[in-house]
Amino acid sequence: MKKRAVIIETQDGVINSANYGMIACASKGATELYCFIINENDEHGDKFREELEKYGIKNIVGICIDSTCQKDHEKSFNPVKWSDAIAQAVIAYHISTLFGLTTPVGKELLPRIAAQLDAPLVMDCLDVSQTYNTVNEHTYGTYNDSDHDFDLAKTSLYSGKTIATVKVTGSIRIFGIRPNVITPSTKSAILQAAESSPSQATASINSSPSSIEKFIANYTPQQNIKLVESRKGDSLGNHLLAADVIISGGRAMQNGENFKLLEDCARAIENLGGSAAVGASRVAVDLGWVPYRMQVGQTGEKVSPKVYIACGISGSVQHFAGMKMSKMIIAINENPNAAIMSSCDYHVESDVFEILPALIEELQTTQ
Amino acid sequence: MKIFVCIKHVPDTAAAIKLSGDTTFEDSDCKFVINPYDEYGLEEAVSLVEKNGGEVVLVTVGKAAAEATLRGAMAMGASRAILVKTEGYFIDSSLTCKALKAAIEKDGMPDIIFTGKGSVDTEGFQTQYRLAAALKMPVVNEISKLTVSGDKAVAERETGGGEREVLEISLPAVIGATKGLNEPRYPKFPDIMKAKKKPVTMLSISELGIDESAGKNRLIKLESVPERSGAKMIQGSVQEQVNELIRILKEDERVL
């Protein structure tokens, strides 16, 4: 049986919601699925097990490092250390397909694992499937395709201007999934899928209690990269990839101070139980109003929230490249001729400095 | 010091991509430029060599048309370039990396190899890692500050949450550059003229012993993303507009 694994990203003992879309993607075809959790000691084990079981997961592996030289361990650069540990686990568990998220963590881990295992990697996937229904194989018959053992990954090319279908072969394949584009499915949906493919059904239906087993990787101290210092930053732009709502500002925000309005709006949404983050156009970053990590666009972050609210952003091709995968785009702009006004879902033709304070006030009083 | 800069010839970020056929696009009427992140690496390489002596060598894997991009990049201060020619536009990252490795080894090992943090066209996010692994060098990516002294470099990178990591790397190393590292210079006219005469070594990917069709990743279909249309205007007074926005967030999208 083909074994697949997902690398679960956790933060402060919480499993980020983006992981569940990735699990839904990896569960397709009801293969045996492992969840790899990095650096998991027993502290959060029961909680993680309970959470992951809701999504039909029974194989949970906590990946640890056996460090006899603690001093080197502390100074080692995390991505180097953990990519090596995961690569060891991939081999030990005979994993044929590995999934991770295209997040700052995944962008460091997955290519290092791929390079170490000499395995193909497709980052920023919108979907990965093993079915080959939309493409006529004969059209692409210039290469040998006798084994039928492959995955098809959909990923964006030219920063969201086109969608590519990539056929991936090889004994180990690695995919980075774009956060929040795949809808999570709970256990019942996965069980249904399993019932329709009878040979695998027992794998998912088995309701025996899960346990987190430990995989202890060999640790080789790295001499050629050392972590000298790690400084905490502020939280601005921290959650762009995980947020359901992104509210971004452009030139019409006039200065960095005014981004506080967007921050207040995001906080008000969070106080209502939503998740929100503040983004920016390239102009706002280039003018020094906000840090680069908040930039949404072709040369910034690619985001796909449920709702993207663009405040005073004209909507260049490059900006769209970073946010066009959003489920809904709302533009607030005084200029009815701004490019964004015709390529969004809703537009509000108003001054951002009138709308935003009123919106914040209304959000604060709404139930 | 000898520094390689890996350059990619990419469509201008403002260019529209017109598809032609299942996996190709119309590249004849598309403006191509140096990948914007590679420019930060190139600027850093040129200023290091201005300070310490040595040479900056460009290397690219791409179609013959990439020569124009290499000439433009040499005008920024590189002394020569190597172009590994391919037939197709889309090459599997592991093959690109094999070609880069072969070209670099053939030319002689450098002290530093710069790349951009990623390319703005295919966005594979992996070539620098594969190249480093193949050459058994350390690799750091998304570097926005760099200090080189002797056989060590101190590099800073920003992680997702705004946290900054300071790393010490032994050279030779592969360094992925990003915005913030420097301000790339605009070449002056005499430099542009000089760059036209600088040597470009042409190699073909097949003479390096690489079959460009042998990748494990194969592009089989390219589709354009439909543009949104039929935007609805939210009407009324500011208060009415705000009420409607909240209704959409709450009832239609259920994000509140």
User: Is the confidence at residue A131, as pLDDT, over 90?
Assistant: no
Closest Cα in chain B, distance from residue A29 (Å): 21
Q: What is the ipTM metric for this complex?
A: 0.94
pLDDT(A203) > 50: no
Q: Would the CB atoms of B94 and A354 count as touching at under 8 Å?
A: no
User: What pLDDT does residue A19 have?
Assistant: 94
One-letter amino acid for residue A261 of the chain: L
- Candidates B120, B132, B238; nearest CB to A354: B238
Model confidence at A234, in pLDDT bands (50, 70, 90)?
A: low
Number of cross-chain residue pairs from A and B with Cβ atoms under 8 Å apart? 263
- Percent of all residues in chain B with a pLDDT value above 90, rounded to a whole number: 83
Residue A74's pLDDT band, with cuts at 50, 70 and 90, is: confident
Q: What is the mean pLDDT of chain A?
A: 85
Sorting pLDDT into bands at 50, 70 and 90, what band is A13? confident
pLDDT of residue A132: 45
Chain A residue numbers touching B227 (CB-CB < 8 A): 343
Question: Out of A244, A293, A318, whose CB is closest to B158?
Answer: A293
Give the list of residues 6+ apart from residue B59 with CB closer than 8 angstroms, or none. B4, B5, B6, B7, B81, B82, B83, B84, B100, B103, B104, B107
- Chain A residues in contact with B98 by the CB 8 A cut-off are none
CA closest to B134 among chain A residues = A115
Interface test with chain B among A325, A348, A355, A360, by most B beta carbons within 10 Å: A348
Q: What is the pLDDT of residues B37-56, one digit of tens each?
A: 999 999 999 999 999 999 99
Q: Among A225-234, A263-272, A354-363, whose mean pLDDT is lowest?
A: A225-234
Of A56-70, A122-136, A285-299, B54-68, least confident by mean pLDDT is A122-136
Q: pLDDT above 90 covers what percent of chain A?
A: 58
The reported pLDDT for the residue numbered A193 is 56
Q: Are A297 and A282 in contact (CB under 8 A)?
A: yes
pLDDT over 50 (residue A198): no
Say yes or no to pLDDT of A99 above 90.
Answer: yes
Measured CA to CA, the distance from residue B8 to residue B58 in angstroms comes to 10
| Residue B206: DSSP 8-state | G
Please indicate whether residue A139 or residue B215 has the higher confidence score (pLDDT): B215
Task: Name the token pair of A43.
Answer: 């502290």
Contact B123 A157 (CB under 8 A): yes
Q: What is the DSSP letter of B189?
A: H
Question: Distance (Å, rounded) from C-alpha A35 to C-alpha A8?
Answer: 6
pLDDT(A228) > 70: yes
